[in-house]
Structure 1
Amino acid sequence: MSRQATKINISEEQRTALENGYRNGSTHSFRMRCLMVLGKADGLSNAAAGARAGQTYQRVMHWVKRFQSDGIAGLRNKPGNG
């Protein structure tokens, strides 16, 4: 039995912010987090979204949850975490 990728719903405003973050973010890690969330919004599986950003599917799940709870600000490093 194959599992279908779960697409997340984002607004146009969120998509624009994520695309801008991917293109112009100040750190590589932030840009890759934006890319992972965009991948999920485009309907990619966690594994495919992770592979595109050089991350594991677990990291994709983590950052999607952070995005859903805290918005794009949740994708930034928290103070004291590098």
Structure 2
Amino acid sequence: MVRKGRPVAEVTLTDEERETLVRWARRAKSSQALAQRCRIVLGCADGKTNQEVAAELGIWPQTVGKWRRRFVERRLEGLADKPRPGAPRKITDEQVEQVVVATLERTPAGATHWSRASMAAESG
């Protein structure tokens, strides 16, 4: 079958890349954006067109084309978010995780729930 329109980059995966993409797509701690990008690349690697992958995932074909192109150019590193403009973050992901865990798993002494002041004092 002859395809019409602009040629698309063919996506071929190594076994290691396929394992990584499947793991990232299924992992509960992956961001939903990264998981969707992995599903896009996996669909493209199965030989599907941008339109077919887009229809399966409920997204625009242009989005599929963007992530197909980025993966072909930079492989797995191309699926990561690019740095955003603005001041760099002062709070690390580990600090955010510590506050969330403390909020969900502990209660402050002499209180039923955390306030902003009590959590700020606790977490520094």
* Cα distance, 1:37 vs structure 2: 0.6
1:56 aligns with one of 60, 63, 69? 60
Q: Does 1:35 align with 2:36?
A: no
Structure 2 counterparts to residues 63-74 of structure 1, below 5 A: 63-74=67-78
Q: Is the 8 A contact 1:36 1:52 kept in 2?
A: no
Matches of 1:46 and 1:12 in 2, distance apart? 22
Matches of 2:79 and 2:16 in 1, distance apart? 16
Which residue number corresponds to residue 16 of structure 1? 19
Matches of 1:80 and 1:31 in 2, distance apart? 20
Partner secondary structure for residue 44 of structure 1: coil
Structure number with greater Rg is: 2
Return the letter of the residue paired with 2:58.
G
Q: Aligned Cα RMSD in Å?
A: 2.2
Higher RCO (CA 8 Å, separation ≥ 6 residues): 1
5+ long unaligned stretches in structure 2: 86-124
Q: Normalization by structure 2: what TM-score?
A: 0.57
Return the letter of the residue paired with 1:74.
G
Percent identity of the aligned residues? 34
5+ long unaligned stretches in structure 1: none
Q: More helix per residue: 1 or 2?
A: 1
Deviation beyond 6 Å, 4+ runs, structure 1? none
Which residue number corresponds to residue 3 of structure 1? 3
Return the letter of the residue paired with 2:23.
N
1:19-72 per-residue CA deviation (whole Å, 9 max, x = no partner) reads: 111111521111011001100111111111112222111111110111111121
Q: Normalization by structure 1: what TM-score?
A: 0.82
Between the two proteins, the alignment pairs up a number of residues equal to 80
